[in-house]
Structure 1
């Protein structure tokens, strides 16, 4: 959807902010950590998560997902199919890495509580996929695309200077 580098940055910022805000809140709620943290700790965790998510989106997961999507055998002229494929690969990649971030935050905050590392990470990963997939495909993705197209493409806002 973005047509140049600046649009890609704005689109990525919007998408990452929305997803990190919802997913961080979700993870703090299901882990039971939200009542044990101060507002300052929550803000630090969300900001740190946002920075990591942006890095992953722009430099690792995003380019990899695009490369794989372009290699898949389907008509790339189908915008819907391209967006669904790209979004699904982005979700799986981001959940894989951001679940590691969540695991580490939880581990350093409260330990493993008797669980193995694989079990703890697997639980976090599955819980995150369960929310991230529908959140991205049905809510955040369409909302960000709508806002982006309305405010950055339809009004002729010049982003490519």
Structure 2
């Protein structure tokens, strides 16, 4: 877990970028619309929106809710898993709406399109976060922290 503001910014940015990259790739492949151009066109605004939502809304509420739940806060893994799951639920809820509005394909109506997108995104985002992006980001943060510790000593 980040121990200062700089580490927090690095960790959040890495986590957010990797999730947006992974979910953008997933959605393009899901809709048989993959191209590097399409990936880049959606990645930049998606990353900006996701980072803002993460830092100012979803992250704040996920942490508040997590620490109110009856989990053992002394067990780091329980805290990490709880916050990660709450973050995924919050980000999928908001970013699915962003994706639908960004694509502008509302031929079947907003609510049905949103519910379909939400279902399809949650089944990909949860394992992506818990199995790949989260562990990788924490590993990178650990390397940064080790390097900082070595420079101090």
Deviation at 1:116, TM superposition (A): 2.5
* TM-score (ref. length: structure 1): 0.87
Q: Distance in 2 between matches of 1:74 and 1:15?
A: 24
Aligned to 1:155: 147
Aligned to 2:34: 34
Question: Deviation digits for residues 49-80 of structure 1, max 9, x if unmatched?
Answer: 00011101110000100000111122211100
Q: Does 1:47 align with 2:47?
A: no
Q: Does 1:24 align with 2:24?
A: yes
2:148 partner SS:
coil
Deviation at 1:112, TM superposition (A): 2.5
Q: Distance in 2 between matches of 1:157 and 1:10?
A: 16
1:1-161 equivalences under 5 Å are: 1-34=1-34, 39=37, 42-107=39-104, 111-113=105-107, 115-150=108-143, 152-156=144-148
Deviation at 1:155, TM superposition (A): 1.3
Number of aligned residue pairs: give it.
150
The runs of at least 4 aligned residues of structure 1 exceeding 4 Å deviation read none
Gap regions ≥5 residues in structure 2: none
Question: Deviation digits for residues 114-146 of structure 1, max 9, x if unmatched?
Answer: x23211111111110000000100111011111
* TM-score (ref. length: structure 2): 0.91
Deviation at 1:148, TM superposition (A): 1.4
Gap regions ≥5 residues in structure 1: none
